Structure 1
Amino acid sequence: MESALESPRIVVIGGGIVGLCVAWHLAKRGLKPLVLDAQKPGAASSGNAGAISHGSVAPLAMPGILKQVPGMMMDPKGALHIPVRYWLKAAPWLLRFVASARTEKVEAAADALAALFFGTLDRHKEILAAEGAPELIREAGQLYLYRDDAQMAKDKAGLDLRRRHGLQIEVLDRAALAALEPAVSPVYTRAAYLRDHGSSVNPARFAEVVARGVQRQGGEVRAAEVRALRTDGRRVTGVETADGFIPSDQVVLAAGAWSARLLAPLGLKVPLETQRGYHMMLPDPGVMPGRVLSPADRKVFISPMEEGLRVAGSVEIAGLDAPPNEARAELLLGDLKAVFPDVNTSGAKSWMGHRPCLPDSLPVVGPLRDWQGIWCAFGHGHLGLTGSAPTGALLGAAIAGERPNFDFAPFAAERF
């Protein structure tokens, strides 16, 4: 057990990429944060698709989503699946999800996400440049693939929303698509090219580099299971771990899908749900695209990485405690073959992780309204890597008293 004199000023709960980026910016300011996570630093974020997508301002729940919910619940092979045993548990979240698809809510969410993601790629490059690892970012854009104009038209609302927030989208015909990615199946005849987007070529190494940067600048990263927040009056005074109490002046809650459990004893019920995501990693695919690809009819991301080719996606709402469903991971190989029919899938390895998702697609970022000594940074959903560096920069500045020019109100935990 540590004495108050030895305690760090700031404890960051969660060693995923969001928590690490917050800690990096705190350490940069000389605040010497202590990062606590039960897993290896970055383990929770190591399996993401690697996409860094500042233009992803369209929330998951768009107008018309209600018609898709029955299919989500019934189709075990669908891009989003909810097992029968979890229907009742998921129902309150789904109702909020559908309610957030109203036009005015969608527009407000897009405005908020555009503000959060402003300068995202530069924020990532800032950290990697300081740590001597700029090669972890690939700046080759992203391609969204469509079979024909009719399929692209189904995405019109989302594409138009992105354009209204300044995203440059080039529409490619088959010839232009083939010039960029000749191995893509000829059934895809159209593409939306996001030239100014990027990706990480190794999310696990990315997180390790950020963790080392925290330590290089005087912070600490420690393996510890945080079990509860300790409070005194209306102030959070530290954290209870499996090894004892650690006092602090400030706590940053960046525990991903587990964050709501830690907030509940404070009287805050945040509708945080885990959307379990899967990937398959192919060490010798025989084909390697030059950038991240996403076929619209498959709802997956195909990402070239240092260790091979990764296909990631497959959303499953089934809670934190159920074991991985290997059949969900295997479906990804079919999605990949639809784009690259001749891909070599031998030696493919699966992975499952938890995406912390809120029904309005906005994370919880910033201070709590009625509690002192605690800041939040969780719920980034499918955009954890994208949102990590800008969230870290904003919170690092705010906690240090720099008053960044940013409105935290849309991201408040109390909005629910």
Structure 2
Amino acid sequence: MTGPHPPRVLVVGAGIVGLALAWRLLRGGASVTVVDAEPPGEGGASFGNAGAISASSVAPLAMPGLLRQVPRMLLDRAAPLHVPPAYWWRAAPWLARFVAAARPAAVSRATAALDQLLHLATEQHHALAQEIGAPELLRAHGQLYIYRDAAQLAKDTPAWEIRRRHGARLEKLDRTGITALEPAIGEAYQLGMFLPDHTHCASPLRYARRLAEAFGQAGGTILRDRITALATSDGRISGAQGEAALHQAEVVVLAAGAWSARLAAPLGYRIPLETQRGYHVDLPDAGVTLTRPVIPADRKVFITPMEGALRVAGTVEFGGLGRPRDAARAELLYGDLAAVFPDAKVTRASDFWMGHRPCLPDSVPVIGPAQRVPGLWFAFGHGHLGLTGSAPTAELLAPAILGRPANQDLAPYAAERFAGA
């Protein structure tokens, strides 16, 4: 793409992944337009995620230890993982692939791919926040995982060992160590694992908005339109059809999160992308002060200090893109907060948030060229690591789109790794 004029690039999706990539492409000399039905950062999962930037999260979700817990969780409506009965048949093929992804060889491949993508995530995010004039959004205070007892911690040992082997700095804490960091954590939690090098974002929405503002100020274009199809001409990509207009481009990047697979399907791609719907509640006056994200292992939630509120975010609910959000899932989060912080003021908020995490069975996003359709590139499927993976994806993919040498292999992230894709 290094012709006499800058390539015209259309990025479909104004979530944090699409925005970070659009910014890096613009800085690299491309003419870039971003199109989305929602304002920047307000669709998908970018608005309401837990804010964690977790460079060492290289263990895939499909691990043998977790799989042993899945049947019980599926039958318990209050469990962190829930599949409504009406969605069982739709979820079954994805869950079967998820089980297959827990085989040792598959776990090793996924871990290597995630490590290659994420190992510089912290530094890349700090650089990005500095570039767009919002360094104060990133808080470098680490992340704290807490456990009730040694037996509970032992269940996560394989994942912690994977992190350690890939360079994560871990500190095992007793009760005294936990309270030295976060005094308000309840007595029930006796052990902790602290990741001192991790960072969190105090407002994922403001991060996305500031990125969009900087992109516009630097000459990029953001359009509001709902893309209904990708357009081709003579076998290569030519743009994207929206409800309002046809958006022409020489290069199209599909970064539409959980909506990406349905847009790729007419071009012959059968990508097993599922939305794992996540919820959050924000409590402006919780009565406890936190410095860093706290993650109770038995509750599977993140409790994060945000700008102006304490955010409790989590749960995994299968239900597709059209099913209404479930207030009962959000209600569980108040119980999670009370279990960890007995002195918190658990006042019900007037509303709650639900967003769509775009998840693939092996936890590895789809990043790279669409081999069947010249000019089309993929950047989606980051699952629970969309915020973490956004800046690294931009650094990995932008040089390739611009036709410049890259020192990383895109093959582990190819869409074609899925049978039938």
Interval of TM-score (by shorter of Structure 1 and Structure 2): over 0.9
Shift of residue 139, structure 1, vs aligned partner: 0.2
Indicate if the aligned counterparts of 2:140 and 2:198 stay in contact, CA closer than 8 A. yes
Q: Distance in 1 between matches of 2:415 and 2:254?
A: 12
Shift of residue 403, structure 1, vs aligned partner: 2.1
> What do the CA deviations read for 1:306-340 (whole angstroms, capped 9, x no partner)?
12100000110011000100100010110111110
> What do the CA deviations read for 1:199-218 (whole angstroms, capped 9, x no partner)?
00001000001111211221
Indicate if the aligned counterparts of 1:144 and 1:193 stay in contact, CA closer than 8 A. yes
Find the counterpart in structure 1 of residue 399 from structure 2: 397
Q: Secondary structure at the match of 2:205?
A: helix
Find the counterpart in structure 2 of residue 97 from structure 1: 98
Q: Distance in 2 between matches of 1:343 and 1:362?
A: 36
Find the counterpart in structure 1 of residue 33 from structure 2: 34
Indicate if the aligned counterparts of 1:30 and 1:218 stay in contact, CA closer than 8 A. no
> What do the CA deviations read for 1:273-297 (whole angstroms, capped 9, x no partner)?
0000000100111112110110001
Letter aligned with residue 28 of structure 1: R
Q: Distance in 2 between matches of 1:174 and 1:66?
A: 29
Q: Distance in 2 between matches of 1:38 and 1:326?
A: 25
Shift of residue 175, structure 1, vs aligned partner: 0.6
Shift of residue 386, structure 1, vs aligned partner: 0.2
Q: Distance in 1 between matches of 2:183 and 2:140?
A: 19
Instruction: Please show how residues 262-281 of structure 1 align to structure 2 within 5 Å.
Output: 262-281=263-282
Q: Distance in 1 between matches of 2:308 and 2:354?
A: 17
Q: Distance in 1 between matches of 2:7 and 2:414?
A: 26
Q: Secondary structure at the match of 2:141?
A: coil
Instruction: Please show how residues 202-281 of structure 1 align to structure 2 within 5 Å.
Output: 202-281=203-282
Letter aligned with residue 9 of structure 1: R
Match of 2:379 among 366, 377, 380: 377
Q: Distance in 2 between matches of 1:410 and 1:385?
A: 20
Find the counterpart in structure 1 of residue 12 from structure 2: 13
Instruction: Please show how residues 158-173 of structure 1 align to structure 2 within 5 Å.
Output: 158-173=159-174
Any gaps of 5 or more consecutive residues in structure 1?
1-6
Shift of residue 345, structure 1, vs aligned partner: 2.3
Shift of residue 377, structure 1, vs aligned partner: 0.4
Shift of residue 68, structure 1, vs aligned partner: 2.7
Any gaps of 5 or more consecutive residues in structure 2?
1-5
Letter aligned with residue 123 of structure 1: Q
Indicate if the aligned counterparts of 2:65 and 2:156 stay in contact, CA closer than 8 A. no
Find the counterpart in structure 1 of residue 325 from structure 2: 324
Letter aligned with residue 187 of structure 2: P
Q: Distance in 1 between matches of 2:159 and 2:7?
A: 44
> What do the CA deviations read for 1:94-135 (whole angstroms, capped 9, x no partner)?
000000000111011011100000210111111111121100
Letter aligned with residue 417 of structure 2: R
Indicate if the aligned counterparts of 2:65 and 2:155 stay in contact, CA closer than 8 A. no
Instruction: Please show how residues 191-206 of structure 1 align to structure 2 within 5 Å.
Output: 191-206=192-207
Q: Distance in 2 between matches of 1:396 and 1:316?
A: 33
Q: Distance in 1 between matches of 2:371 and 2:264?
A: 13
Find the counterpart in structure 2 of residue 4 from structure 1: none
Q: Distance in 2 between matches of 1:329 and 1:210?
A: 29
Q: Would you say 1:52 and 2:83 are equivalent positions?
A: no
Shift of residue 401, structure 1, vs aligned partner: 1.6
Shift of residue 245, structure 1, vs aligned partner: 1.1
Q: Distance in 2 between matches of 1:218 and 1:398?
A: 21
Change in CA separation of 1:295 and 1:65 when aligned onto 2, cut-off 3 Å:
closer
Find the counterpart in structure 2 of residue 3 from structure 1: none
Shift of residue 65, structure 1, vs aligned partner: 4.0
Match of 1:355 among 344, 350, 357: 357
Higher alpha-carbon deviation: 80-89 or 120-129: 120-129
Q: Distance in 1 between matches of 2:317 and 2:82?
A: 5
Letter aligned with residue 35 of structure 2: L
Indicate if the aligned counterparts of 1:8 and 1:34 stay in contact, CA closer than 8 A. no
Find the counterpart in structure 2 of residue 148 from structure 1: 149
Indicate if the aligned counterparts of 2:370 and 2:376 stay in contact, CA closer than 8 A. yes
Indicate if the aligned counterparts of 1:65 and 1:98 stay in contact, CA closer than 8 A. no
TM-score, normalised with respect to structure 2: 0.96
TM-score, normalised with respect to structure 1: 0.97
Q: Secondary structure at the match of 2:64?
A: coil
Instruction: Please show how residues 275-290 of structure 1 align to structure 2 within 5 Å.
Output: 275-290=276-291
Q: Distance in 1 between matches of 2:161 and 2:270?
A: 34
Letter aligned with residue 57 of structure 2: S
Q: How many residue pairs get matched?
A: 410
Higher alpha-carbon deviation: 329-338 or 342-351: 342-351
Shift of residue 370, structure 1, vs aligned partner: 2.0
Q: Secondary structure at the match of 1:328?
A: helix
Q: Secondary structure at the match of 1:239?
A: strand
Shift of residue 28, structure 1, vs aligned partner: 1.0
> What do the CA deviations read for 1:174-211 (whole angstroms, capped 9, x no partner)?
11111111110011111100000000000100000111
Q: Distance in 2 between matches of 1:245 and 1:391?
A: 27
Q: Distance in 2 between matches of 1:187 and 1:111?
A: 35
Letter aligned with residue 31 of structure 1: A
Q: Would you say 1:113 and 2:80 are equivalent positions?
A: no
Indicate if the aligned counterparts of 2:7 and 2:251 stay in contact, CA closer than 8 A. no
Letter aligned with residue 37 of structure 1: D
Indicate if the aligned counterparts of 2:9 and 2:249 stay in contact, CA closer than 8 A. yes
Find the counterpart in structure 2 of residue 181 from structure 1: 182
Find the counterpart in structure 2 of residue 367 from structure 1: 369
Indicate if the aligned counterparts of 1:64 and 1:101 stay in contact, CA closer than 8 A. no
Indicate if the aligned counterparts of 2:138 and 2:202 stay in contact, CA closer than 8 A. yes
Higher alpha-carbon deviation: 173-182 or 70-79: 70-79
Higher alpha-carbon deviation: 26-35 or 156-165: 26-35
Q: Distance in 2 between matches of 1:379 and 1:395?
A: 14
Letter aligned with residue 264 of structure 1: A
Indicate if the aligned counterparts of 1:366 and 1:412 stay in contact, CA closer than 8 A. yes
Q: Distance in 1 between matches of 2:166 and 2:67?
A: 25
Indicate if the aligned counterparts of 1:293 and 1:302 stay in contact, CA closer than 8 A. yes
The alignment-based identity, stated in percent, is 54
Letter aligned with residue 210 of structure 1: L
Find the counterpart in structure 1 of residue 70 from structure 2: 69
Q: Distance in 2 between matches of 1:318 and 1:281?
A: 23
